Structure 1
Amino acid sequence: MRYILSALALTVVFLSTGGAGYAECRADTVYLRGDWGQARFSVDVADTFETQSRGLMFVEDMPLSKGMLFVYDRPKSLSFWMRNTLIPLDMVFVDPFGVVKHVHSNAIPHDLTPIHGGDGLVAVLEINGGLAKQLGITVGSEMRHPSFVKSLAAWPC
């Protein structure tokens, strides 16, 4: 099973020199890059109170190249929990520049313990549990998405 997960995880990584660096920015796609390489995820964007409140609750399974991007209109302190969440998730907390500030790995389904990502955050990417570590996504990685102000973004659209 671990071998299958590893092989599938590699399908979201761009190893070519063009890769995500030249792709068009779209609301339904998130790109990440770092010393480890690049990755792309198709995302559902949660940018309203209703979509953020529901998040990935009740989702029974999610493709490895899929995720949910929570977007906030101003920097704030963010904490998440796993209420009614059926699958383990990694949470990637991001600042206004699109820089990863914290990665929480393998959040436990149904756990009500708050997962604090830090202060001054504007986005959180939720992906399948264990995938961030497998891909190498760490603090300092950069995210590319149209929700980041172009003039501030470390990796602008």
Structure 2
Amino acid sequence: MRPLVLAIALLTAFVAPASAVEFKTDTLAIRTPSGDVHEFTVELALTDQQRTRGLMYRREMAGDHGMLFLYDRVGLHAMWMANTYIPLDMLFIKPNGEVVRIAERTVPQSRRPISSGQRVKAVLELRGGTTERLEIPVGSTVLHKAFGTGRD
């Protein structure tokens, strides 16, 4: 059943116009092991339709913006770059906010799956090169209410 749902979601991503999916925005921060904190404005991908659309068809993204994909279940999650025109850094995040894998400068329009490699709750996509520029390594912590690490 799950493969059928995924196939329908992917078909919807190719047929639905880019403006058909709307995203709420929020803020989050990333704290590096050295103590640096970097703040971002993110769009939230909370539904299957939003997660399927992601950043497809976008031609640009500000350096302090991104998209946070939050999943209903912790598990092995994979992303891809079909119809995505800008390179991205993908940060795979455990339920406690720990970044456990970073795929840097992913290849635009590639259909090659990019796996979390382990069970995660979320994926944060940032403009390609952001993690290198800001020195954000694996082991950093995402500060957001979804992980119980918010700064509220």
TM-score range, shorter chain: 0.7 to 0.9
Between the aligned partners of 1:136 and 1:117, the Cα distance in structure 2 is: 20
Contact 1:36 1:135 (C-alpha < 8 Å) held by counterparts: no
Structure 2 residue identity aligned to 1:69? L
Between the aligned partners of 1:61 and 1:72, the Cα distance in structure 2 is: 25
Between the aligned partners of 2:111 and 2:129, the Cα distance in structure 1 is: 19
Query: C-alpha displacement at 1:74, in angstroms?
Result: 2.0
1:82 aligns with 2:75: no
Q: Which residue of 2 aligns with 1:40?
A: 39
Contact 1:75 1:119 (C-alpha < 8 Å) held by counterparts: no
Kindly tell me the number of residue pairs found equivalent between the two proteins.
127
Between the aligned partners of 1:43 and 1:56, the Cα distance in structure 2 is: 11
Identity %: 39
Higher strand share: 1
Q: Which consecutive residues of structure 2, in runs of 5 or more, have no partner in the other structure? A: 1-24
Q: How does 1:84-99 map to 2 (within 5 A)?
A: 84-99=83-98
Between the aligned partners of 1:29 and 1:118, the Cα distance in structure 2 is: 26
Q: Deviations over 1:63-89 (max 9, x none)?
A: 111100000122110111100000000
* Structure 2 SS opposite 1:52: helix
State TM-score, norm by structure 1: 0.77
Structure 1 residue identity aligned to 2:86? I
Query: C-alpha displacement at 1:36, in angstroms?
Result: 5.8
State TM-score, norm by structure 2: 0.79
Q: Which runs of 4+ in 1 moved over 4 A?
A: none
Contact 1:46 1:70 (C-alpha < 8 Å) held by counterparts: yes
Q: Which residue of 1 aligns with 2:66?
A: 67
Q: Which residue of 2 aligns with 1:15?
A: none
Change in Cα spacing, 1:71 to 1:108, as seen in structure 2 (3 Å) is: same
Query: C-alpha displacement at 1:156, in angstroms?
Result: 6.3
Between the aligned partners of 2:35 and 2:81, the Cα distance in structure 1 is: 28
Q: Which moved more, 1:59-68 or 1:35-44?
A: 35-44
Q: How does 1:5-154 map to 2 (within 5 A)?
A: 28-34=26-32, 35=34, 37-148=36-147, 150=148, 153=149
Between the aligned partners of 1:140 and 1:88, the Cα distance in structure 2 is: 22
Higher helix share: 2
